[in-house]
Amino acid sequence: MILVVDAGNTRIKAAVFEGTMLLEVFIFTNIEAEKKIQNILKNFQKTTDLVVCSVGDLGKQWFLAFENVLNVHFITNRDVFPFQNKYATPQTLGIDRMVLAAGATLQFPNQNRLVIDAGTCITYDFIDQDDNYLGGAIAPGLRLRYEALHQYTAKLPLLSFKNPDNLIGNSTSESIHSGVVNGFVFEIDGFINEYKARYLNFIIILTGGDTDFLAKRLKNTIFANSNFLLESLNQTFQHKTKND
């Protein structure tokens, strides 16, 4: 069994796999991480490997503490990936974006793919049908947009996101919800439409913490999978193992 860990900016997602089968998913904070991982290993005692993709605050040494019980692997941009990296600054490309691109390449061969990861930030990553990673876009996620309105104005409240009741907000709160949520959805649909106008044989993959909230609100047909990064991390590790 393999335990994969996606250590993100605001939380940690982990999953246990047996081969390609996802057995269970876990979500916790950095503070809870040590106890949670110990409990996972206690419940899945056949786990042999820990595979880490980290863009957050937990350092490499923290994970190496588990070397006495597991084989610890870090996915980095120096690993073998199933695509050609055409990014102009490959050394700055986040490892989470590379893992998502790898998963899209392996799961959806011979077609153009756009991976949209809606979390703290929203990222767009495009891999063409010839398995070239071309790049994408980065923008603030839903939570950051609400926080920015509150932090950089004198009187706007900090709200938790919800579906706006109307396009035309009839109060300050409803106007914020309409601006943030509708603007976010319009942005995503706009990006998708531009890509679809340029490329045929196309699939859109939506993932990240806001997947379920967004999936029903987008006009475009998408493949929605909130666990796509975890699945991609497992697939990237399997690819790395076969090609090292």
Residue 69 φ/ψ, nearest 5 degrees: -125, -15
Exposed/middle/buried for residue 30 (C-beta within 10 Å: 0-12, 13-18, 19+): middle
Q: How far apart are CA 15 and CA 13, in angstroms?
A: 7
39: helix, coil or strand?
A: helix
83: helix, coil or strand?
A: coil
Q: What is the pTM of this model?
A: 0.89
Assess contact for 232 and 99: CB atoms under 8 A.
yes
Between these two residues, 125 and 210, which has the higher pLDDT value?
125
- Positions annotated as catalytic residues are 96
Q: Select the highest-mean-pLDDT range: 36-40, 61-65, 231-235.
A: 231-235
How would residue 56 be classed by pLDDT, with cut points 50, 70 and 90?
A: low
Q: Which domains does the chain have, with CATH numbers?
A: 2-74 (3.30.420.40), 84-233 (3.30.420.40)
How would residue 53 be classed by pLDDT, with cut points 50, 70 and 90?
A: confident
